Amino acid sequence: MVNSLAGAAEPEESGRGQSAELRSLVALLQSEGASKVARQDAFVRLVEWFQDGAFGYAYGVLGDPHLAQGATQEAFAAAFRQIGALRSPDAFPAWLRRIVRTHCLRLRRGETPQALSLDALRAGCAAGAEGSGNPSEAAAARELRDAVAAAVGELPRHERVVVVLCYAGDWPQEEIAQFLGVPLTAVKKRLQSARRRLEKRMLAMIDDALTDHMSRYLPSRDERLIESLRFLTAFDAASSEGELPLVEQLLVDGLDVDTADASGRTLISLAAQRGNVDAVELLLRHGADVNARDAEGVTPRGWAERAGQRAVVALLRRRGALP
Protein backbone atom coordinates (compact mmCIF):
# COMPACT_ATOMS: atom_id res chain seq x y z
CA MET A 1 0.00 0.00 0.00
CA VAL A 2 1.35 3.43 -0.92
CA ASN A 3 1.62 6.02 1.82
CA SER A 4 -1.02 8.72 1.99
CA LEU A 5 -0.56 12.43 2.61
CA ALA A 6 0.66 11.57 6.09
CA GLY A 7 3.76 10.06 4.50
CA ALA A 8 5.81 7.91 6.83
CA ALA A 9 3.83 8.89 9.94
CA GLU A 10 2.62 6.01 12.12
CA PRO A 11 -1.09 5.16 11.80
CA GLU A 12 -1.84 6.11 15.37
CA GLU A 13 -0.19 9.51 15.06
CA SER A 14 -2.73 12.30 15.37
CA GLY A 15 -3.28 15.09 12.89
CA ARG A 16 -1.96 17.44 15.56
CA GLY A 17 1.30 15.49 15.68
CA GLN A 18 1.65 15.64 11.92
CA SER A 19 1.05 19.40 11.97
CA ALA A 20 3.73 19.78 14.63
CA GLU A 21 6.21 17.84 12.50
CA LEU A 22 5.35 19.92 9.44
CA ARG A 23 5.90 23.16 11.37
CA SER A 24 9.20 21.83 12.71
CA LEU A 25 10.48 20.88 9.23
CA VAL A 26 9.50 24.21 7.68
CA ALA A 27 11.02 26.14 10.58
CA LEU A 28 14.29 24.25 10.13
CA LEU A 29 14.34 25.02 6.41
CA GLN A 30 13.70 28.70 7.11
CA SER A 31 16.32 28.96 9.83
CA GLU A 32 19.41 30.93 8.83
CA GLY A 33 21.36 29.28 11.64
CA ALA A 34 20.65 25.70 10.56
CA SER A 35 23.43 23.77 8.85
CA LYS A 36 23.20 22.83 5.18
CA VAL A 37 23.01 19.17 6.13
CA ALA A 38 20.13 19.76 8.55
CA ARG A 39 18.22 21.83 5.99
CA GLN A 40 18.69 19.20 3.29
CA ASP A 41 17.56 16.42 5.64
CA ALA A 42 14.42 18.41 6.46
CA PHE A 43 13.79 19.02 2.78
CA VAL A 44 14.20 15.32 1.92
CA ARG A 45 11.64 14.47 4.63
CA LEU A 46 9.15 16.90 3.03
CA VAL A 47 9.80 15.40 -0.40
CA GLU A 48 9.18 11.90 0.97
CA TRP A 49 6.00 13.15 2.61
CA PHE A 50 4.45 14.99 -0.35
CA GLN A 51 6.08 13.57 -3.50
CA ASP A 52 3.24 11.23 -4.49
CA GLY A 53 0.62 13.90 -3.89
CA ALA A 54 2.51 16.45 -5.95
CA PHE A 55 2.99 13.93 -8.76
CA GLY A 56 -0.67 12.87 -8.64
CA TYR A 57 -1.81 16.47 -8.89
CA ALA A 58 0.58 17.19 -11.79
CA TYR A 59 -0.52 14.05 -13.61
CA GLY A 60 -4.14 15.04 -13.15
CA VAL A 61 -3.49 18.48 -14.61
CA LEU A 62 -1.22 17.42 -17.48
CA GLY A 63 -2.62 13.99 -18.34
CA ASP A 64 0.88 12.65 -19.00
CA PRO A 65 2.98 10.78 -16.39
CA HIS A 66 6.37 11.75 -17.87
CA LEU A 67 5.57 15.46 -17.98
CA ALA A 68 4.13 15.13 -14.47
CA GLN A 69 7.43 13.71 -13.20
CA GLY A 70 9.31 16.70 -14.62
CA ALA A 71 6.84 19.20 -13.17
CA THR A 72 7.05 17.51 -9.76
CA GLN A 73 10.83 17.69 -9.67
CA GLU A 74 10.97 21.32 -10.74
CA ALA A 75 8.23 22.26 -8.27
CA PHE A 76 10.14 20.79 -5.32
CA ALA A 77 13.34 22.52 -6.42
CA ALA A 78 11.44 25.82 -6.59
CA ALA A 79 9.86 25.20 -3.18
CA PHE A 80 13.31 24.70 -1.66
CA ARG A 81 14.50 28.02 -3.09
CA GLN A 82 11.36 29.94 -2.10
CA ILE A 83 10.68 28.40 1.33
CA GLY A 84 11.48 31.69 3.04
CA ALA A 85 8.36 33.22 1.47
CA LEU A 86 6.05 30.73 3.20
CA ARG A 87 4.47 32.56 6.16
CA SER A 88 2.46 29.71 7.68
CA PRO A 89 4.00 26.22 7.83
CA ASP A 90 0.52 24.69 8.01
CA ALA A 91 -0.14 26.16 4.55
CA PHE A 92 2.71 24.15 3.00
CA PRO A 93 0.47 21.59 1.18
CA ALA A 94 -1.62 24.29 -0.53
CA TRP A 95 1.49 26.39 -1.24
CA LEU A 96 3.25 23.39 -2.83
CA ARG A 97 0.16 22.61 -4.89
CA ARG A 98 0.20 26.14 -6.34
CA ILE A 99 3.87 25.77 -7.25
CA VAL A 100 3.18 22.43 -8.95
CA ARG A 101 0.35 24.02 -10.91
CA THR A 102 2.61 26.87 -12.01
CA HIS A 103 5.16 24.43 -13.41
CA CYS A 104 2.42 22.42 -15.11
CA LEU A 105 1.20 25.55 -16.87
CA ARG A 106 4.75 26.40 -17.95
CA LEU A 107 5.13 22.94 -19.48
CA ARG A 108 1.87 23.40 -21.33
CA ARG A 109 2.99 26.71 -22.80
CA GLY A 110 6.44 25.49 -23.81
CA GLU A 111 7.52 22.97 -26.37
CA THR A 112 7.22 19.36 -25.30
CA PRO A 113 8.35 16.18 -27.01
CA GLN A 114 5.68 14.97 -29.40
CA ALA A 115 5.81 11.45 -28.01
CA LEU A 116 4.85 12.60 -24.50
CA SER A 117 1.18 11.71 -24.62
CA LEU A 118 -1.23 8.95 -23.86
CA ASP A 119 0.49 7.06 -26.68
CA ALA A 120 3.69 7.06 -24.62
CA LEU A 121 1.72 5.90 -21.61
CA ARG A 122 0.17 3.06 -23.61
CA ALA A 123 3.59 2.04 -24.89
CA GLY A 124 4.96 1.86 -21.34
CA CYS A 125 1.99 -0.21 -20.18
CA ALA A 126 2.32 -2.53 -23.16
CA ALA A 127 6.00 -3.11 -22.42
CA GLY A 128 5.11 -4.23 -18.91
CA ALA A 129 2.35 -6.50 -20.16
CA GLU A 130 4.63 -8.25 -22.63
CA GLY A 131 6.71 -9.55 -19.74
CA SER A 132 4.02 -12.15 -19.04
CA GLY A 133 4.84 -15.69 -20.04
CA ASN A 134 1.34 -16.27 -21.41
CA PRO A 135 0.78 -14.51 -24.78
CA SER A 136 -2.99 -14.38 -24.38
CA GLU A 137 -2.73 -12.95 -20.85
CA ALA A 138 -0.18 -10.39 -22.02
CA ALA A 139 -2.46 -9.31 -24.87
CA ALA A 140 -5.43 -8.99 -22.49
CA ALA A 141 -3.40 -6.95 -20.00
CA ARG A 142 -2.15 -4.72 -22.80
CA GLU A 143 -5.68 -4.12 -24.06
CA LEU A 144 -6.94 -3.32 -20.57
CA ARG A 145 -4.13 -0.85 -19.85
CA ASP A 146 -4.70 0.87 -23.20
CA ALA A 147 -8.33 1.28 -22.24
CA VAL A 148 -7.38 2.70 -18.83
CA ALA A 149 -4.99 5.22 -20.35
CA ALA A 150 -7.57 6.37 -22.88
CA ALA A 151 -10.41 6.57 -20.35
CA VAL A 152 -8.40 8.57 -17.80
CA GLY A 153 -7.14 10.96 -20.48
CA GLU A 154 -10.68 11.78 -21.56
CA LEU A 155 -11.90 12.75 -18.10
CA PRO A 156 -12.46 16.46 -17.37
CA ARG A 157 -9.35 17.87 -15.69
CA HIS A 158 -10.92 18.42 -12.25
CA GLU A 159 -12.16 14.82 -12.19
CA ARG A 160 -8.86 13.42 -13.49
CA VAL A 161 -6.94 15.10 -10.64
CA VAL A 162 -9.15 13.45 -8.01
CA VAL A 163 -8.96 10.04 -9.70
CA VAL A 164 -5.17 10.12 -9.88
CA LEU A 165 -4.80 11.16 -6.24
CA CYS A 166 -7.28 8.51 -5.13
CA TYR A 167 -5.92 5.58 -7.12
CA ALA A 168 -2.23 6.46 -7.27
CA GLY A 169 -1.73 6.87 -3.54
CA ASP A 170 -4.87 5.35 -2.00
CA TRP A 171 -5.51 8.66 -0.23
CA PRO A 172 -8.56 9.12 1.99
CA GLN A 173 -11.01 11.57 0.45
CA GLU A 174 -10.56 13.95 3.39
CA GLU A 175 -6.83 14.27 2.63
CA ILE A 176 -7.50 14.82 -1.08
CA ALA A 177 -9.86 17.67 -0.15
CA GLN A 178 -7.21 19.16 2.15
CA PHE A 179 -4.51 19.01 -0.50
CA LEU A 180 -6.72 20.46 -3.26
CA GLY A 181 -8.22 23.09 -0.96
CA VAL A 182 -11.82 22.14 -1.80
CA PRO A 183 -14.75 20.87 0.30
CA LEU A 184 -14.99 17.14 0.93
CA THR A 185 -18.36 17.13 -0.84
CA ALA A 186 -16.66 18.39 -4.01
CA VAL A 187 -14.15 15.52 -3.91
CA LYS A 188 -16.95 12.98 -3.43
CA LYS A 189 -18.97 14.39 -6.33
CA ARG A 190 -15.96 14.51 -8.67
CA LEU A 191 -14.96 10.96 -7.82
CA GLN A 192 -18.49 9.67 -8.28
CA SER A 193 -18.81 11.42 -11.62
CA ALA A 194 -15.44 10.09 -12.81
CA ARG A 195 -16.33 6.54 -11.79
CA ARG A 196 -19.59 6.73 -13.70
CA ARG A 197 -17.74 7.84 -16.82
CA LEU A 198 -15.06 5.20 -16.43
CA GLU A 199 -17.37 2.35 -15.56
CA LYS A 200 -19.12 2.75 -18.89
CA ARG A 201 -15.88 1.52 -20.46
CA MET A 202 -14.15 -0.48 -17.78
CA LEU A 203 -17.06 -2.07 -15.86
CA ALA A 204 -16.15 -4.23 -12.85
CA MET A 205 -12.36 -4.26 -13.45
CA ILE A 206 -11.93 -0.49 -13.21
CA ASP A 207 -10.66 -0.31 -9.61
CA ASP A 208 -7.88 -2.90 -9.95
CA ALA A 209 -6.87 -1.61 -13.38
CA LEU A 210 -6.63 2.00 -12.19
CA THR A 211 -4.63 1.11 -9.10
CA ASP A 212 -2.12 -0.94 -11.12
CA HIS A 213 -1.89 1.67 -13.87
CA MET A 214 -1.44 4.73 -11.65
CA SER A 215 0.90 3.32 -9.02
CA ARG A 216 3.65 2.32 -11.47
CA TYR A 217 4.68 5.99 -11.91
CA LEU A 218 4.80 7.04 -8.25
CA PRO A 219 8.09 8.73 -7.31
CA SER A 220 8.10 6.99 -3.93
CA ARG A 221 8.80 3.69 -5.72
CA ASP A 222 12.48 4.58 -5.91
CA GLU A 223 14.99 7.18 -4.71
CA ARG A 224 15.73 8.89 -8.03
CA LEU A 225 13.62 12.00 -7.44
CA ILE A 226 15.23 12.58 -4.04
CA GLU A 227 18.76 11.99 -5.39
CA SER A 228 18.24 14.44 -8.24
CA LEU A 229 16.71 17.07 -5.96
CA ARG A 230 19.50 16.65 -3.42
CA PHE A 231 22.05 17.54 -6.11
CA LEU A 232 20.04 20.37 -7.68
CA THR A 233 19.20 22.10 -4.40
CA ALA A 234 22.76 21.71 -3.14
CA PHE A 235 24.03 23.24 -6.36
CA ASP A 236 21.56 26.15 -6.12
CA ALA A 237 22.66 26.90 -2.57
CA ALA A 238 26.36 26.52 -3.30
CA SER A 239 26.20 28.69 -6.43
CA SER A 240 24.56 31.54 -4.54
CA GLU A 241 27.15 31.32 -1.76
CA GLY A 242 30.22 30.67 -3.91
CA GLU A 243 30.77 27.20 -2.48
CA LEU A 244 30.86 25.01 -5.58
CA PRO A 245 33.52 22.71 -4.04
CA LEU A 246 30.82 21.47 -1.66
CA VAL A 247 28.76 20.32 -4.62
CA GLU A 248 31.75 18.72 -6.26
CA GLN A 249 32.24 16.78 -3.04
CA LEU A 250 28.81 15.18 -3.57
CA LEU A 251 30.13 13.68 -6.79
CA VAL A 252 33.40 12.66 -5.22
CA ASP A 253 31.49 10.99 -2.39
CA GLY A 254 29.77 8.64 -4.80
CA LEU A 255 26.71 10.36 -6.32
CA ASP A 256 26.21 8.70 -9.71
CA VAL A 257 26.86 11.44 -12.27
CA ASP A 258 24.47 9.74 -14.70
CA THR A 259 21.73 8.99 -12.19
CA ALA A 260 18.38 9.24 -13.94
CA ASP A 261 14.89 10.06 -12.73
CA ALA A 262 11.85 7.90 -13.45
CA SER A 263 11.53 9.34 -16.96
CA GLY A 264 15.18 8.59 -17.76
CA ARG A 265 16.43 12.19 -17.48
CA THR A 266 19.93 12.55 -16.05
CA LEU A 267 21.34 15.38 -13.96
CA ILE A 268 22.97 16.99 -16.99
CA SER A 269 19.61 17.13 -18.80
CA LEU A 270 18.01 18.79 -15.78
CA ALA A 271 20.85 21.30 -15.47
CA ALA A 272 20.75 22.01 -19.22
CA GLN A 273 17.01 22.68 -19.16
CA ARG A 274 17.46 25.14 -16.28
CA GLY A 275 20.31 26.93 -18.08
CA ASN A 276 22.85 26.27 -15.35
CA VAL A 277 26.14 26.47 -17.26
CA ASP A 278 28.27 25.90 -14.16
CA ALA A 279 26.38 22.72 -13.27
CA VAL A 280 26.69 21.40 -16.83
CA GLU A 281 30.44 22.06 -16.85
CA LEU A 282 30.86 20.42 -13.44
CA LEU A 283 28.96 17.31 -14.51
CA LEU A 284 30.93 17.06 -17.75
CA ARG A 285 34.20 17.25 -15.79
CA HIS A 286 33.03 14.25 -13.81
CA GLY A 287 32.25 12.19 -16.89
CA ALA A 288 28.54 12.83 -17.45
CA ASP A 289 27.22 11.41 -20.71
CA VAL A 290 26.72 14.47 -22.93
CA ASN A 291 24.35 12.53 -25.18
CA ALA A 292 22.32 10.65 -22.56
CA ARG A 293 18.81 10.17 -23.90
CA ASP A 294 15.77 9.94 -21.66
CA ALA A 295 12.80 7.62 -22.10
CA GLU A 296 11.52 9.77 -24.97
CA GLY A 297 14.89 10.00 -26.71
CA VAL A 298 15.61 13.64 -25.79
CA THR A 299 19.26 14.62 -25.13
CA PRO A 300 20.57 17.31 -22.74
CA ARG A 301 21.08 19.61 -25.73
CA GLY A 302 17.51 18.90 -26.80
CA TRP A 303 16.18 20.03 -23.42
CA ALA A 304 18.35 23.14 -23.48
CA GLU A 305 17.08 24.05 -26.96
CA ARG A 306 13.46 23.56 -25.93
CA ALA A 307 13.99 25.83 -22.92
CA GLY A 308 15.81 28.48 -24.97
CA GLN A 309 19.02 28.13 -22.94
CA ARG A 310 21.44 29.41 -25.60
CA ALA A 311 24.57 29.48 -23.47
CA VAL A 312 24.11 25.85 -22.51
CA VAL A 313 23.35 24.87 -26.10
CA ALA A 314 26.59 26.52 -27.24
CA LEU A 315 28.58 24.75 -24.52
CA LEU A 316 27.11 21.36 -25.37
CA ARG A 317 27.73 21.87 -29.06
CA ARG A 318 31.40 22.52 -28.33
CA ARG A 319 31.47 19.22 -26.45
CA GLY A 320 30.01 17.35 -29.41
CA ALA A 321 26.49 17.02 -28.07
CA LEU A 322 23.78 15.73 -30.37
CA PRO A 323 20.46 17.59 -30.77
pLDDT, tens only, 195-220 = 888 777 665 455 666 677 667 777 77
pLDDT band for 303, please (50, 70, 90 cuts).
very high
Most confident of 52-66, 108-122, 293-307: 293-307
Type of residue found at 299: T
Q: How confident is the model at residue 4 (pLDDT cuts 50, 70, 90)?
A: very low
Domain covering 222-318: architecture: Alpha Horseshoe (1.25)
Structural domain boundaries in the chain = 15-109, 118-220, 222-318
φ, ψ (nearest 5 deg) of residue 283? -65, -40
Q: Pick the range with the lowest mean pLDDT from 173-177, 214-218, 236-240.
A: 236-240
Listed range (49-63, 234-248, 264-278) with the worst mean pLDDT: 234-248
* Cα 42 from Cα 62, distance rounded (Å): 29
Average pLDDT of every residue of the chain? 77
Instruction: Kindly report which listed range (107-116, 143-152, 241-250, 307-316) carries the lowest average pLDDT score.
Output: 107-116
Q: In terms of CATH architecture, what is 15-109?
A: Orthogonal Bundle (1.10)
Query: Is 168 buried (19+), middle (13-18) or exposed (0-12) by CB count in 10 A?
Result: buried
Cβ atoms 88, 109 nearer than 8 A: no
pLDDT single digits (tens) 112-135? 433 333 444 344 444 444 444 566
Instruction: Output the pLDDT for position 106.
Output: 85
Q: What is the pLDDT of residue 271?
A: 84
* Type of residue numbered 29: L
pTM of the model: 0.65
How does residue 24 score in pLDDT terms, banded at 50, 70 and 90? very high
For 266, list phi and psi in degrees, rounded to 5.
-90, 170
- Give 169 or 14, the one with higher predicted confidence: 169
Is residue 149's pLDDT more than 80?
no
Among 133-142, 167-176, 222-231, 251-260, name the one with the lowest average pLDDT.
133-142
CA-to-CA distance for 236 and 247, rounded, in angstroms? 9
What integer pLDDT is reported at residue 255 of this predicted model?
67
Tell the CATH topology of 118-220.
Arc Repressor Mutant, subunit A (1.10.10)
